Structure 1
Amino acid sequence: MTETAATPSAPQPGGPLRGLRVLDLTRVLAGPTCTQMLGDLGAEVIKIERPEAGDDTRNFAPPFIPNTKESAYFVGVNRNKKSVTVDISKPEGQAIVLALLEGCDLLVENFKVGALAKYGLGWEQLRVKFPGLIYCSITGFGQTGPYAPRPGYDSLIQGMGGVMSLTGEPDGQPQKVGIPVADVFAGLYGTIGILAALRHKALTGEGQQVDIGMLDTHVAWLANQGMNYLATGENPPRLGNQHPNIVPYQVFPTADGYMVLSVGNDPTFRRFCEAFGQEHLLADERFATNAARVGNRQLVTDTLTPLMRSRTTADWVERLEALKIGCGPINTLKEVFADPHVQARNMVVEMPHASGETVKVMANPVKLSATPPTYRSAPPLLGEHTDEVLGGLLGMDAAGIAALRGKGIV
């Protein structure tokens, strides 16, 4: 019996998570990364912010988005969200959150362990009232373990999680990665956990807590270097821009700058040597196999460096690509956003903002043929949707909202 392939459906408006409502009690980066991903995939995200102050990152500036008072940092991870100001430290604010949860499928928070329980909004308290609620907690060290009460910060986690010990020149200081990868990975792992919990809820009707610790996620993505340690019991050394298991797979100087050369296997190394007058290296046992080249890393680097300096980066890239040998320039961000491939993949989106300006944001990289990410609303002004949400979802009248605002509750 022959199965007939399904006909691909036309892209659906709204995204695969349309109809999902998320109460977002996160701020800064890890949590907002998670909730922006959910929003891009179609969820309605209601972001709860402190009256007057808002998310801390509203003040992480300069730079600001041109002609606005909005920080670039905040705008980067808060699109497709509605901003509602609520003081959750006051009973009336807590009552608003509980009322909103009546219509929500998911709560995402990144408060310190136990902080929300003081306001009656902890997982153990809410699971009784809302048994179908998915409750995602993103913290520095997770909900259990000796470090659970500690606050978590990206550079701290990069240090404790081992990546700083692997990053930097061999004779230099340990280095953090140039972007807050510990925060970003925690947010993305949070999204993965939420999607799994949604599937479980669809099958059983049961909610659950998703417990994401930044240190846990950091250990999980140590990848080959973590496995190298587990296999040998030896701490991998810092190698600068070189690969621990493949040589040559590193940065080389060229006639006009630097580039990355990625020779992934022995047949590729053979093509490289034969194309650029290095056939004699193939007869040298120190170069003949990748294992040998790893063992003679410095010799390989010293041998190839004069050759790599003999041509410009552009010349190398053109020649190596023709031979299907991995390579590439080391782009500045200006060059990244001007790259024709990045542009062809539509990795920058322009959105109309409530300030009256148009803001540029980095696009969601997930490409879905039937339910692609959507860009429905720009990152909000502080409290931009308070009246809309409290009036539309909770049925409050204008006078009631004004009274709450007068008391500093919203």
Structure 2
Amino acid sequence: MELTVDQPLRDQGPLSGVVVLDLSRALAGPHGAQMLGDLGARVIKVEQPSGDESRGWGPPFVGPEHDISTYFLAANRNKQSITVDMKSAEGRELIERLVRQSDVLIENFRTGVLDRLGFSVERLHELNPRLIILSITGFGHDGPEGGRPGYDQIAQGEAGLMSLTGPSTAEPYRVGASIADLLAGIHGAYGVVAALYERERTGRGRVVRTSLLASVVGVHSYHGTAWTVGGSVPRPGGNHHASIAPYGAFHCADGMIQLAVANDGLWRKTAKVLYIDPDTPKYATNRDRFAHREELIADMEHALAAHTREHWLAEFGALGVPAGAIRSIDEVYSWDQVRSQGLVVTVDHPVLGPIELPGSPLRFDGDGMPGHTAPPALGQDQDAVLTWLDEREREHGR
């Protein structure tokens, strides 16, 4: 299908004027590139002629032919799509031209693949010394297992996250979202922005590296120090916090409510409304409450069973105790608070028409942020990008 799409110029936002050459596919790299696009960068998504494999990931699929992956739509807004056979001489020549005109290159090939295609770090910096290269791998670019292929769930298990998640050590769970991929994209975008800032001082680009493994280990936080400093191996706690009590999901008359009682002041308010003596020795401090957590949960759920979730949310809300429902995804996207934060954006897709997408988690005050464009159809911007490239080469003389 031939599509003519009027893509607005990315001439607003903190990264306006930055050109990102996105060679990545699937989720980690595309998510990082999408974040840069949200901030105003011009992102040129280079796909093999058969397309990014995530175009085939589903269900669900939508569109008249039921061939548009909602998975792909999640990670590719604010981009232009071209197709390039990087194994061909013509394809490599086009990549060289694009590299010379780009500020950032993003790739998440297996270690060594880009080198074999003729685009080692050294070659890329020969073509463009100012180029910032973001490389995302599964387990790191070097080390004894640096060449391993990496996908999200494998990384969640290898990086210890699954050992912390689920009802018990006998039944580890993956996090429902592809969190290793998404965190790698976030960390990668963060590194790119830092490298762009540094380049203003040095005039040279550099390589930014992260991995799915690093992205998960990097957010172990207190679980990590529990072992590295405390010598204690964290275990899964189901829906309850590893260090704070009471903090988790509790049953009431018609379902579950979540409470985060993070200090003794909040505990006294919670205990009072549940008719529990806050000063009883087994519950007086967080250390005491955690040591008797199962008994505490039972006492609280006995009291909570007297009323509905709605009742308890109102009660705890009036007291200033952090409390919340457990919403399904459809409930989240219809929630006024989510929409008030710009977390749902409407874009005009070339086939689907107006569609809603999850929005950027960042908000900036004032004006000057770019609008959003729909995730592109495969190769839809080939002519536009080539025209831009010709003009850019004439302008910059390289």
Which of 353, 376, 387 aligns to 1:391? It is 387
1:37-52 aligned within 5 A: 37-51=35-49
Distance 1:166 1:369, change over 3 A: same
**What is the aligned partner in structure 1 of residue 343 from structure 2?**
347
Structure 2 contact 30–75 (Cα < 8 Å) conserved:
yes
Task: Tell me whether 26-35 or 295-304 shows the greater mean CA deviation.
Answer: 295-304
Gaps of 5+ in 2: 1-9, 393-398
Aligned mates of 1:275, 1:321 — CA distance in 2: 12
In structure 2, relative to structure 1, the CA distance for the partners of 1:336 and 1:231 (3 Å cut) is: same
Q: Offset of 1:340 from its aligned partner?
A: 1.6
Q: 1:308 aligns with which of 304, 307, 315?
A: 304
Q: Do 2:77 and 2:376's aligned partners in 1 also have CA atoms closer than 8 Å?
A: yes
2:22 is aligned with what amino acid?
D
Q: 1:219 aligns with which of 214, 217, 220?
A: 217
Deviations 1:5-53 (A, max 9, x none): xxxxxxx9611100000110000000000000001100001100011x1
The one-character-per-residue Cα deviations of 1:149-177 (angstroms, maximum 9, x if unpaired) are: 11111000000111100100126410000
Provide the residue aligned with 2:104 in structure 1.
106
Question: Could you tell me how far 1:306 is from its partner in structure 2?
Answer: 0.8
Q: What's the CA shift string for 1:261-309, capped at 9, x where partnerless?
A: 111111111111223322xx32321101111111111111121111122
Corresponding residue of 1:288? 284
- The aligned counterpart of 1:376 is 372
1:173 is matched with which residue: 149, 171, 174?
A: 171
Cα deviation for residue 206 of structure 1 reads 1.0
Q: Are the counterparts in 1 of residues 239 and 249 from structure 2 also a CA contact under 8 Å?
A: yes
Aligned equivalent of 1:235: 233
Distance across 1 between alignment mates of 2:258 and 2:33: 34
Asked whether the 8 Å contact 1:13–1:371 carries over to 2, the reply is: no
- Output the TM-score relative to the length of structure 1: 0.90
Hey, what does 1:80 align to over in structure 2? 78
Equivalent residues in 2 for 1:71-220, closer than 5 Å = 71-170=69-168, 172-220=170-218
Whether the aligned pair in 1 keeps the contact of 2:316 and 2:322 (CA below 8 Å) is yes
Contact in 1 for aligned 2:181/2:212 (Cα 8 Å) = yes
- For the Cα contact (< 8 Å) 2:100–2:127, is it kept in 1? no
Q: Does the residue aligned with 2:283 lie in a helix, a strand or coil?
A: coil
Q: Which moved more, 1:260-269 or 1:355-364?
A: 355-364
1:250 is matched with: 248
Alpha-carbon RMSD across the aligned residues, in angstroms, is 1.7
Mapping of residues 266-277 of structure 1, within 5 Å: 266-277=264-275
CA contact (8 A) 2:274 2:300 kept: no
Tell me the SS of whatever aligns to 2:296.
helix
Q: After the TM superposition, which of the residue ranges 227-236 and 32-41 deviates more from structure 2?
A: 227-236
Q: Percent identity?
A: 37
TM-score by length of 2: 0.93
Change (3 A) 1:219 1:171: closer
* Distance in 2 separating the partners of 1:331 and 1:257: 12
Show structure 1 runs of 5+ residues with no match.
Answer: 1-11, 397-410
Partner of 2:57: 60
